[in-house]
């Protein structure tokens, strides 16, 4: 016997066009997969701190001496880059 939630879902599902019914079916499959293979940790927990690696990469870039070579006046570049600009569609 179907409970009221299942009955409502079925009624709503039947009113959808075929393409949307397919989308609902895919979503249900996704949810079932998620139940079968729950994540063991969040993505943030899996990542190790990478500050040291970033520092090494920045040091390598600095050693090359080519980073930001085209910027003659860093202060002027910073002022220009920080200028407020109108957002598209919000003039």
Query: Is the pTM here over 0.85, yes or no?
Result: no
Tens-digit pLDDT profile for residues 33-91: 888 887 765 655 556 778 888 999 989 988 888 888 888 898 998 888 888 777 777 76
d(CA 68, CA 71): 6
Predicted local confidence at residue 38, as pLDDT: 74
Predicted local confidence at residue 33, as pLDDT: 87
Q: Which residues of 49-71 are buried (b: 16+ CB within 10 A; e: fewer)?
A: eeeeeeeeeeeeeeeeeeeeeee
């Amino acid at each position: 016997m179907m409970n009221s939630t299942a009955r409502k879902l079925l009624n709503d599902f039947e009113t959808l066009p075929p393409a949307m019914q397919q989308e609902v079916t895919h979503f249900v499959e996704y949810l079932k997969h998620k139940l079968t293979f729950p994540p063991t940790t969040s993505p943030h927990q899996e990542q190790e701190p990478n500050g040291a690696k970033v520092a090494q990469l920045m040091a390598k870039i600095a050693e090359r001496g080519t980073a930001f070579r085209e910027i003659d006046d860093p202060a002027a570049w910073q002022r220009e880059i920080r200028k407020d600009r109108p957002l598209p569609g919000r003039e």
